[in-house]
Amino acid sequence: MKVADSTYWNHEKLYQFFKYSIYILILFNVIYFTVEDYFASAHTFKNGVSLANIGNAFSASVDSFAWYILLMTFELETYILEDDELSDKKKILFNVVVAVCYFFILLAFVGYIEKLIMVYDFELAHITDLCAIVGSDISLALDLDEYAPLVAENCANVSGQIYFNSATSIYADHTILKQMKQLSLIDVVNALTWLVIVLVLQIEVFLQLRGHLSSYMYKVNSMIKFVAYFVLLFACVYWAYMGDGIGFWDAILWLGAFIFIELNIFQWRQEEEAEAEAEAEAEAEENKALLL
């Protein structure tokens, strides 16, 4: 029996180590996206980023940070804290934190949409040689979130049809612009799908904490999330196909993180059902004893 217990705890420690390793790797990605957004905003918002433009300029970093805080609240509610430790004050605190996270997640979602609109606002430029305008305050798109000042070293790399966004003073060739459109669209689809998943998860946690999560509701939620996770998996494959390594890596980590949250809820629900079954058996034994 001791060997079995020892094996169980070794597996449990390995499981928890793997889970929190993913959480830490996601935090590194949050920092990476913050730095990337900061440098990209110097080109997309040349006059500076106002409060109204934060969601657009820092969509990836705001989104990632808000989701990370939300992930931690899910981990606390579904695994770390016991049900009897969640006092009314703590529940209120969690609700406030979650509400703030949702605000920034929706803000980032609007930012993704604005970025999509910005990408589709590029028009065919009446210029064939970008090297002729080197020295002006012009940027060149290298990727969806990567830009560089137009200089002699990179102007000759642009070939074929050239497109220009007058609002941001950014040029892009046909190939880059096509990739930007595809990536910005998948960003919107990905963000919307995550909103669906987190809404369903929030409903599950809310009902589970109050003992009202029925088997039927759990199955319906599971089917909705299955479809949503399939869409997210498609997005992962698409980012890999497009050569967006960081997008693929980040998506895989987030999928892994929320699979752990799903397992937390599953284990939590099993424990609740086992306790309810034990209480029912104890009550039945007590009633039987009284009859005898």
| Size (the chain), residues | 292
Q: Please name which of 104, 40, 67 lies closest in space to residue 253, comparing C-alpha atoms.
A: 67
170, 125 Cβ separation under 8 angstroms? no
pLDDT surpassing 50 at residue 209 = yes
Query: 244-276: per-residue pLDDT in tens?
Result: 888 899 999 999 999 998 888 888 778 777 776
pLDDT surpassing 70 at residue 290 = no
Beta bridge partners of 52: none
Both tokens of 187, joined, read: 């960003």
pLDDT surpassing 70 at residue 5 = no
Query: 174-200: per-residue pLDDT in tens?
Result: 999 999 999 999 999 999 999 999 888
Helices (H) and strands (E) in the chain, counts: 8, 5
| Average pLDDT of the segment spanning 43-60 | 75
Handedness of CA 15, 21, 23, 29 (dihedral sign): negative
Domain ranges of the chain: 2-291
> CA torsion, points 221, 226, 231, 236, in degrees to nearest 10?
120
Model confidence band, residue 216 (pLDDT cutoffs 50, 70, 90): confident
Look up residue 132 and give its DSSP letter: G
Phi, psi at 33, each rounded to 5°: -65, -30
| Average pLDDT of the segment spanning 162-184 | 92
CA 292/CA 285 separation, integer angstroms: 11
